Amino acid sequence: MLGPRLMYLDPGGDMKRIIAALAAAAACAVPASGLAAAMPACHAHSVFAIAVHGGEITAKVDGSKRLPIMAAALALARQQLSHGARSIDVVEEVVRIFEDSGAFNAGRGAIADSVGLVETDAAVMDGNGMRAGAVGSMTNLKNPIVAARLVMHANRHVLMVGDRGQAYAIRLGAVQVPRSYFIYNHDVTRPAVPMHDATDHAEHGTVGAVALDRCGHLSAATSTGGYDAKIPGRVGDSPLVGDGVYAADDTAAFSGTGWGEYYIRYNITKDAADRMRYGHETLDRAMQDELFRILKPLHADGGLIGVDRKGNVGLYYNSVGMFRGYATDREAPVVAEYTGITHSKPRSAQ
Ligand code: ASP
C-alpha cells in the first residue's frame, strides 16, 4: 500500500492500527503539556491545513519507519483540526509523537554530540499573539517540545537553556528521564565534526509541524537533537524564533531543517515571512527564494515547510530529500521523502 517515495494515506490495515495507537496516546487532542486550551473549539472557518517534516537529508536514508508515523500523525491532526482543535495544540502533539517514536532526530531518537551525549533543542510559536517558548541544550527531558510549550505558557521568558533552564522546565511540569532513555546516548567520545564537513553527515532528522486552524490562527513547532557529533553546548536554529521556527497570523508559519548555522545567520524563517509581509511574495515564492537564492549559493543544505493564512502549504528543500507531508480540509494526508510533493494544490485552483 505504501510506496517508498510518495504515498497517499489509505487508513486501512496496518495504518489503521497505527492511527488508533496514536489516537489513544494523544488522548484526543490533549497535548502532553496538558495545556489544551480552555478555549472554545475553532469553527469560524472551514479551511485548515497541517504540514510536517521529519528532516532534510543530504544522502538517502532508510525512511521505512518515519513515513508511516508521519502519515498517521497527519491523519490524526487532520481529524483534530476538522473538529476545531487549536493549531498550537496540534503542532505540539504531532511533534511530541515524533519525539516519542524514536524514529527521528528528536526526543528519544535524538543523535548524540561529540562526547556521545544527547542534547536537544525545541521551540513552539503561536502566531495568535506572537507568543513563543523554547529550550536549548536539554539533556534529560522526555519531550523538549512539551517543555517549550510550558515555557511559552508561563509567559515570562522565551528561551531556557542548559541545566538551569532544564530545572525550570521540570518545575513547570516537563517530564525528566535518565540519559539511558535516549537511544543514541552512548557516553562515547567521537571527534567533533568541523562545520565545513557537516554536510557530509547525511542524517539530520529534525522534526517540525506547522498548522492553520479553523479560527485562522497559525502555529509552528520544531524539535531536534541538532547536528551529529556537534560540539557540546552548540545550539542550532531549531529553538530560535525567526531562524528554525516562526509563526505570525498575518503571514505564515514555518519550520526549518538543515544546516542550522546558516538559518541563524540569515534568519531564514523570519525572512520568508517578511518577503510575504512587506514584499507581498506568495508562500511558495518566499520559501523557494530562501532555499534556492540564499542558502543554495552558500552550499547550505536545507528544507522548509510552511502554511499561510489562506491554507496554502509549501514543502521545499535544496538537497537530496526531506521527509515531509501535509493534509488540508480538502486533501487527505500525503507524505514523501525524495521526489514528489512540493506544495498543496493552490486553493484558488480547487
Ligand atoms: N537544523 C538543525 C540544527 O542545525 C539540524 C537539522 O535540521 O538537521 O540543529
Predicted confidence band at 17 (pLDDT cuts at 50, 70, 90)? Answer: low
Average pLDDT over residues 43-66: 90
User: Could you give the CA distance from residue 15 to residue 12 in angstroms, rounded to a whole number?
Assistant: 6
Predicted confidence band at 257 (pLDDT cuts at 50, 70, 90)? Answer: very high
Nearest CA, atom 9, ligand 1: 226
Q: How far is the CA of 205 from the centre of ligand 1 (A)?
A: 8
Q: For position 2, what pLDDT does the model report?
A: 32
- Ligand 1 contacts (CB < 6 A) are 55, 204, 206, 224, 226-227, 236-238, 244, 257-258, 260
Q: Which of 130, 43, 144, 35 is nearest to 98 (CA)?
A: 144
User: Could you give the CA distance from residue 243 to residue 331 in angstroms, rounded to a whole number?
Assistant: 29
Tell me, yes or no, if 206 is annotated catalytic: yes
User: Could you give the CA distance from residue 293 to residue 266 in angstroms, rounded to a whole number?
Assistant: 12
Average pLDDT over residues 197-205: 55
Name which residue leads in pLDDT, 160 or 43. 160
Residue type, 172: L
Nearest CA, atom 8, ligand 1: 204
User: Which of 66, 120, 204 to mutate to test ligand 1, by most ligand atoms within 8 A of the CB atom?
Assistant: 204
Q: In this model, does residue 28 exceed pLDDT 50?
A: no
Name which residue leads in pLDDT, 40 or 222. 222
Could you count the other beta carbons within 10 Å of the beta carbon of residue 83?
Answer: 13
Considering the candidates 58, 120, 139, 206, report the single residue annotated as catalytic.
206
The C-alpha cell at 113 is 554530540
* CATH annotation of 6-35+59-336: 3.60.20.30
The model carries a pTM of 0.90
Average pLDDT over residues 223-232: 90
CB-hemisphere CA count at 13 Å for 151?
A: 27
Could you count the other beta carbons within 10 Å of the beta carbon of residue 24?
Answer: 9
Q: Which helix (H) or strand (E) holds 322?
A: strand 321-328
291-332 pLDDT, tens digit each: 999 999 999 999 999 999 999 999 999 999 999 999 999 999
CA atoms 289, 293, 295, 299: torsion sign: positive
